[in-house]
Amino acid sequence: MNDTINLGDYMELVKWFYSYLKKYRLDVIKTTFFMFLESIVELLIPIIIAHLINKGITNRDFKYIMIISIIFLVLVILGVIGSVLNGYFSSKVAAYISYDLREDLFSSICNRKYKDLDNVNIPKSITVFSLDITTVGTVVLYFIRLFLKVILIFIFSIILSIFISFKLFTIILLIIPICLILFILIFKKAFPYFDLTQDSLDNLNRDVRENISGIRLIKTLRQEKNEIKKYRKVNNILKNINIKSMKLVTLTGPVLQFFIYLATFLIILYSNHLLNNNLIQIGTIMAFLQYLTMILSSLLSGSMLLLLLLKSWVSLKRIYEIINIDKDIQLEKEYILDINSIEVNNVSFTYNEKTSKKIINKLSFKIKKGEHVSIIGRCGSGKSTLLKLLGNFYEAESGKILINGKDIKMYSDKEIKKNILYINQNSKLFSGTIKFNIEFYNKNKKLNKILKICKVNDILKSKKQGLSTIVEPFGTNFSGGEKNRIILARALFKNPQVLLLDDVLNAVDIKTEKEIWQNIKKMYSNFTIIEVNSRLSHLEDVDKIILLEDGKIEAIGTFDEIKENKLFKEFYELQKENS
């Protein structure tokens, strides 16, 4: 683990974060003003008390006591006002910056390139959304509220204590460097654990997410004890890291207390000598002890704030890494009015540029408007990858994908996504209603027609609330076949020109699946459908079959044209026997 901070990265991060802070600079200025007011009051109170004791109480001057008491009361009221408004404006700035970071973080994930989604670390993203942004918000709150105050009180407490008694100040002068060195050593040793804590939280989130999403499978396989052991191991790692870091950080309190008591003891001891020689007064000693506490407390507070700042560096860096990725920038390109043809021209592709093995290897074929094309093949033959290339989620390594005879790169990604819709077997249902999941922010007057085509009406018959039936997160209250039909209905509702379907009806029974395909062909003959299907029951009805083997075309044509192919016959006969 690298726990050093690169100056260039640090400045870049500060500059980036300042872009958020400057939007609320007026509130920051207000916070600073009220912080100054609060600090001045705190600094003046020990002097006021010293004067009250030395001149008022000692001389029994009740008029002087009354005047000083009124001044004291006014200062206290001003201090309270400063503290309240300081807290209000600093909390406001922290809340707004946290809000802005969450907005940009979510937008960044939504707008990132499709290929970057493969590298999304979901547990890390959850930790960043929750803990990291909260940490940064807390730092903003304490930093703008307290950091300048700590510096101000530290400096002016030293100046005032020198002004009161330079002789007593020599004791503080000996203690401050020792405290400072000890705090630096403690925090330097504790800092590396902050990075480890965040990584351990990511691992914990990953395990919790996996267990909650797969709890039914875990219970079915009776692996609860093993999963609990696995979770306990990860939780123990996080616990041990927290214990080690907290042991170090909590040392600062006792160290501070020790030096405050030591300094107080030495000051009282020396003050006794000064008092016997009439070189100092009681009120002055009391004021000096208050400034001593202020100096050492501000030293500790400053160290803690610095520690919090270093801790937030880890969080801020993690937020920055997610927000500042290459976004899916939409450039002005050609519009797609009507997709008459899609052509794959000598296309090759691999996910890993370092390997020579091609997932797609020199494919060439053409699909006309309105054709229903089925892509079949063994697992790992490149079927799903081919669909993603057709949907422009990845760029071909070599060769071209042509729409209406023009390179797919000539069209904006927005246009492609509008007219070519890709749906895979892992598509999700969202919390809401069945109607919301089908419409999904789109408007289409043909909802009833789509419900009939996808046989969603059969699902609604068993639901009392019909389209208003609540869908639980990820559709856990629906069967696999029901989810398949709702997801397909959502795809048709968007009314694209080309549908790329990756085994979307894998949980629907063969009879229902065949009926759905017949409905689509009848009602949407103008749609171009390119599908990957692990079942071959409806292949006699499609216009073209592409059989892939190791990323290459093994056979292409209608059912009658390729039915004698050895590999195709093997697949077809095997499924026929199983069904």
Give the model confidence (pLDDT) of 137-189 as tens digits. Answer: 888 888 888 888 888 888 888 898 888 888 888 888 888 888 778 877 877 78
H/E stretch holding 264: helix 252-276
State the Cα–Cα distance between residues 551 and 380, nearest whole angstrom.
Answer: 8
Question: Is the pLDDT score of 1 beyond 50?
Answer: no
Confirm if 399 and 345 have CB atoms less than 8 A apart.
Answer: yes
State the Cα–Cα distance between residues 538 and 428, nearest whole angstrom.
Answer: 25
pLDDT score for 3: 45
**Phi–psi pair at 27, nearest 5 degrees:** -70, -35
Q: What is the DSSP letter of 440?
A: T
Q: E strands of 464-520, at which residues? A: 470-471, 498-502
- The per-residue pLDDT of the chain, averaged, comes to 83
pLDDT score for 112: 66
Question: Is the pLDDT score of 210 beyond 60?
Answer: yes
State the Cα–Cα distance between residues 563 and 545, nearest whole angstrom.
Answer: 10
Tell me the average pLDDT across 119-136: 75
State the Cα–Cα distance between residues 34 and 30, nearest whole angstrom.
Answer: 6
Question: Is the pLDDT score of 429 beyond 70?
Answer: yes
Tokens of 197: 């804590």
- The pLDDT confidence band at residue 331, using thresholds 50, 70 and 90, is very low
H/E stretch holding 40: helix 25-51
Amino acid at 205: N
Question: Is the pLDDT score of 5 beyond 70?
Answer: no
pTM: 0.61
Q: E strands of 350-407, at which residues? A: 360-368, 372-377, 398-403, 406-407
To which residue do tokens 């107080």 refer? 264
State the Cα–Cα distance between residues 241 and 563, nearest whole angstrom.
Answer: 63
State the Cα–Cα distance between residues 522 and 371, nearest whole angstrom.
Answer: 12
Please state which of the ranges 137-146, 237-246, 305-314 shows the lowest mean pLDDT.
305-314
Q: What angle do CA 31, 36, 38 make, to 5 degrees?
A: 95
- The pLDDT confidence band at residue 402, using thresholds 50, 70 and 90, is very high
H/E stretch holding 342: strand 341-349
What tens digit of pLDDT does each residue of 29-44 get? 999 899 999 999 988 9
**Phi–psi pair at 478, nearest 5 degrees:** -125, 150
Report the 10 Å Cβ neighbour count for 321: 11
| Percent of residues, the chain, with pLDDT higher than 70 | 92
Tell me the average pLDDT across 364-384: 91
pLDDT score for 7: 58
